[in-house]
Amino acid sequence: MYVRGLELVDFRSYARVVVELGPGPCVLVGPNGVGKTNLVEALAYVATLESHRVATDAPLVRFGTARAVIRCAVVHEERELLIELSIEPGKANRARLGRSPVTRTRDILGALRLVLFAPEDLSLIRGDPSERRRYLDELLVARQPRFAGVRSDYDRVLKQRNALLRSAYLARKTGGSRGGDLSTLDVWDAHLARHGAQLVRARLDLVAGLAPHVAKAYSAVSASRSDARISYAPSFGLQDDLEQALLAALSESRPSEIERGVTLVGPHRDELTLTLGEMPAKGYASHGESWSYALALRLAAYDLLRDDGIEPVLILDDVFAELDAGRRDRLAALVGEASQVVVTCAVEDDVPAGLRGARFLVGGGEVQRV
C-alpha cells in the first residue's frame, strides 16, 4: 500500500496544495514551521480520524475558513482508491470513498493503513496512561475497524454513567436528602460491562501479539541488551468471563464511586505497562532509551499490521534529528524496504542515505518535487 497523491484545501496553513507521491522513500525537506508536519498530520487523520497533535478538529481548519478538505489517493494491489474527508468544526464531518458518500465517517477506517512516528510519541513512555491506551486502541481499530464502534459505544456509556454519578455527588454536597437518583445505575453498569469487556479482551489479545515485536524492535533500534517488555494491567481482576468480572468490580467500587462522583474501574482506567530490564521505562529510561522505546512501539505496530497481510504506509516525522548516528542507521536498515516511507526533516543530511528517495521541498505554502 502507498499514497499516490494528497490534496489539501484550507487544512492548517495550506489554502490549497497538491502533492504527488509514490512508493519507496519520500523525503519532505524544509525549515521548521513551514508545514511539513501538517502534510503528514493530514495523512494520519485519514487513517485514524484523529489528530496526533490536537484533541479537537477546529485547529485543523485554516483560520478564517469554515471547513477543511483532505483528498488522498491510495494504491493497494494496483487498485487506486480516492478518499475524501470534509472537516467542519461544530458539525458532523463528511466522507467519500471512491467518490461515493459513506453513511458514517468511520466507514473509511481501514482504507488507509498507516503508522506514524512523531516527536509527540515520547509521551508514550513519559506521559499519562491515557497516551498508552490511545496507542492500543488506534492500533486495534487499524487492524479491526469495527472496534471504532465498540470504543464509541463504551465512551458514550461511560459519559452517561459519569454524569449520573456526578449529579448524585453534587446533590449530596448541596444538601439533597437522598443524594440524587441512582435508580438507573444498574442499567448503565450492564452496558458498561458489556462494551468494556469487548474492549479489554481485544486489548489483551493485541498486547499478546504485540509484545514479541516490541522486544525485537527495541533490540534492533537500540543495540541494547536490556529487554523491552509490555504487559496489560487492568483496573479490575481478570477472569474468563470478563463481563461478569467488570460487573463485580463496578459493584464493589460503587460506594467509592458515589463518594467521588466518577467511574473508577473499566478499560478507561487500565494501563499498558512498559518495562526496560527490571525497571519501569517511565522515570528510569534515559532520553535515548525513551526514543528507542517509542520507536519500538511504532515499529512493532507496523510489523503487526504487515503480518495481517497489508503493508502500511510508514511516516517518520522529524525523527532523525533526535537520534545519534548509530540509531539513525539501524532505523534506516529496518524500514528501508517498506512499500512507502514518508520522512520529514529540516536538514536532509540527517536522513541516512538508504532513505533518500524522492525529494520534496516544502515552503511558502507549496510543495515541489526536485
- Quote the DSSP letter at residue 66: S
| 285 contacts 217 by C-beta, under 8 angstroms | no
**31 marked as part of a ligand binding site:** yes
Write the DSSP string, 316-337. Answer: EES-GGGS-HHHHHHHHHHHTT
* Residue located via cell numbers 471504532: 148
Q: Please choose, from the candidates 223, 187, 184, 172, the residue with its C-alpha nearest in 3D space to the C-alpha of residue 327.
A: 223
Number of other residues whose CB lies within 10 A of the CB of residue 326: 12
Q: Please choose, from the candidates 21, 60, 58, the residue with its C-alpha nearest in 3D space to the C-alpha of residue 38.
A: 60
Q: Please choose, from the candidates 349, 360, 327, 350, the residue with its C-alpha nearest in 3D space to the C-alpha of residue 3.
A: 360
Residue 175 and residue 369: Cα distance in Å, rounded? Answer: 68
DSSP H or E segment with residue 87 = strand 79-87
Number of other residues whose CB lies within 10 A of the CB of residue 223: 11
Max CA pair span of the chain? 74
Write the CB contacts of 32 (distance below 8 Å, at least 6 apart in sequence). Answer: 346
DSSP H or E segment with residue 279 = strand 279-280
**33 marked as part of a ligand binding site:** yes
**32 marked as part of a ligand binding site:** yes
**127 marked as part of a ligand binding site:** no
CA 37 to centroid of chain Cα atoms: 16
**35 marked as part of a ligand binding site:** yes
**93 marked as part of a ligand binding site:** no
Cell output for 305: 499490521
Numbered residues of the known binding site for ATP: 30-37
> Which residues belong to the annotated binding site?
30-37
